[in-house]
Amino acid sequence: MTSRLLAILLCALFILPAWTSSAHAADPATSLLKLHQMRLAAQRSLGDFYMYNGMEGDQRYARMIDVSVQLADARLKELTGMPGEASSALRQQLEQEWKAYAKDLANLMAALKQQGFTDLQPVADLTVRNQRLLALSSELYSTIQQEGATVVPPLTQRSREQSLLMQTIAVDYASRSASVGGSFIGANGSKAIDQLAGEFTSQLADLQGAPQNTPQIREALGEIGTKWRYIEKSLKNYNEKSVPFLVNKYSDRITEGLEDVSARYAEVQL
């Protein structure tokens, strides 16, 4: 297993608390964490598909896709015991959407392997399905909090949102670099990559400036900032020289670091 594969697995598994299933509703905080990890893995699977396409079927990205799909599927299966009717219904919808997305992704990978290329429309359809999947997961995330009378602590939530933003940027950059069918299919729907990068810079500065940060968290955020600066210029000047491998690699490391910070915040309810 490559170090990057191991990092992704550790990123998802490191902060998941021990939990035993029961006939009663699961702890909402644990459900929210699993759902967050599921969404990150689903995002990553699309970005790695674009890398797989753009790198002409490089098998390392096929393996990365497989890891992300397995992780998303595992987290979704662990997401049981919803706190109410609305969240239970959304959980069923999310499962259906996930199965359809995973099937479409597998079909596209098979087509790329057999033909050496993919048609534009199925890729566009996959991106749209991924957007629906993420929208459903966001709706479920909010509903679990409402029905479970739970609120994710502010800094924990902001660091999770920063991870999701990093993955959105990475997906869009990989899509643009792959230029599937000669077209760019953005994952975020509207904002340009440089705009998203600007948001990331601003929000990371806000996290770094939070007065509640412990010395360990400040150090971890400083390391994230160093990695971010390494790719920030490329993202803000995305129409210049394309460096998809670099952005893909560092976005994973940044996301891993943010998830560690998020776990630290959650431990002390910040």
Q: What is the pLDDT of residues 122-181, one digit of tens each?
A: 999 999 999 999 999 999 999 999 999 999 999 999 999 999 999 999 999 999 887 654
Cβ pair 197, 205 in contact under 8 A = no
Residue 205 has pLDDT above 90, yes or no: yes
Q: For the chain, give the mean pLDDT.
A: 88
User: Domains in the chain: how many in total?
Assistant: 1
| Confidence at residue 18, expressed as pLDDT on a 0 to 100 scale | 36
Query: Is the Cα dihedral 79, 94, 170, 3 positive or negative?
Result: positive
Q: Output the pLDDT for position 115.
A: 83
- State the pLDDT at residue 21: 36
What's the rounded Cα separation, in Å, for the pair 202 and 135? 24
Q: Can you give the pTM of this predicted structure?
A: 0.88
Arithmetic mean of pLDDT, 239-249: 90
- Confidence at residue 15, expressed as pLDDT on a 0 to 100 scale: 43
The domain containing residue 111 runs over which residues? 3-267
Separation between Cα atoms, residue 59 and residue 61, nearest integer Å: 5
Whether the pLDDT of residue 186 is over 70: the answer is: no
Percent of the chain at pLDDT > 90 equals 75
Of the pLDDT bands very low, low, confident and very high (cuts 50, 70, 90), residue 14 is very low
Q: Are 57 and 99 in contact (CB under 8 A)?
A: no
Of 57-66, 72-81, 133-142, 209-218, which gets the smallest average pLDDT? 57-66
Q: What is the pLDDT of residues 67-86, one digit of tens each?
A: 999 999 999 999 999 999 99
132-152 in b/e burial notation, b at 16+ Cβ within 10 A? ebbebbeebbebbbebbeeeb
pLDDT given for residue 116 in this prediction: 78
What integer pLDDT is reported at residue 114 of this predicted model? 85
Tokens of 99: 């199965």
What is the C-alpha to C-alpha distance for residues 44 and 171, in angstroms, rounded to an integer?
Answer: 7
Distance CA 20, CA 43 (A): 27
24 band by pLDDT with thresholds 50, 70 and 90:
low
Report whether pLDDT(226) > 90.
yes
